[in-house]
Structure 1
């Protein structure tokens, strides 16, 4: 049950933003076995004055096209699955909508399964 938040600088067309959603869902489906119709994502655009990043932190040459992706997931995945997810996200976003791998910044937030309520005030996974 991933919950994904995406942040980027304002100004990209709708097709670009939709391609980000599509590519992220595909990567999650392929590497984390996320089922069909399990898409919960938001995308927020920021003016240049409200968006800051380290242009060369850890030797990665980022541009103004950097995209921050934060994914909250159950704490049930292996390190190998996480590495596969990071790789696949970078590959798919490179292919569509054309984001350089250097500009793909991903952060996983892991939570226990009982920390979700997917509606109706229930803890569906508890």
Structure 2
């Protein structure tokens, strides 16, 4: 946990997807201080006609490399979120040549009782985590 759900325009190679996911994980590790194996990432690829990602009137240019990332997580401090936004853009630009203008992030917060990592238990509630 956190859970990262990526929405992308289809067409990236497996190697490009791995680089993207690894870059996002590095940003998550640094910003949120999660354990290395705390990695839950899902990629959804769409035809270009199935994704509209505009700029909320901010004049931010988008390309077909746009990454829409929804992060579901326990509550995080503002500073952690801001660090994640910055680190994610840095990692994606360096590792994947994805411009910061092509990175959109939404963080959705939930609580410990909203997670089960398997075995029919809520590990945050049972004390296993």
Taking structure 2 as the reference length, the TM-score comes to 0.92
Aligned to 1:33: 33
Larger mean CA deviation between 79-88 and 58-67 belongs to 58-67
Stretches of structure 1 that go unaligned for 5 or more consecutive residues are none
SS in 1 for 2:124: coil
Q: Trace 1:1-126 onto structure 2 (pairs within 5 A).
A: 1-54=1-54, 57-75=57-75, 77-126=76-125
SS in 1 for 2:20: helix
Offset at residue 59 of structure 1 (A): 2.3
SS in 2 for 1:6: strand
SS in 2 for 1:105: strand
Taking structure 1 as the reference length, the TM-score comes to 0.94
SS in 1 for 2:65: coil
For 2:99 and 2:106, how far apart are their aligned partners in 1?
A: 17
Larger mean CA deviation between 45-54 and 26-35 belongs to 45-54
Question: Structure 1 residues 60, 67: closer, same or farther in 2, change over 3 A?
Answer: same
Per-residue CA deviation, residues 32-83 of structure 1 (Å, 9 max, x unaligned), is: 00101111101111011211111573221112211101110101x2101110
Q: Is the 8 A contact 1:29 1:35 kept in 2?
A: yes
How large is the Cα RMSD of the aligned pairs? Answer: 1.2
Larger mean CA deviation between 82-91 and 47-56 belongs to 47-56
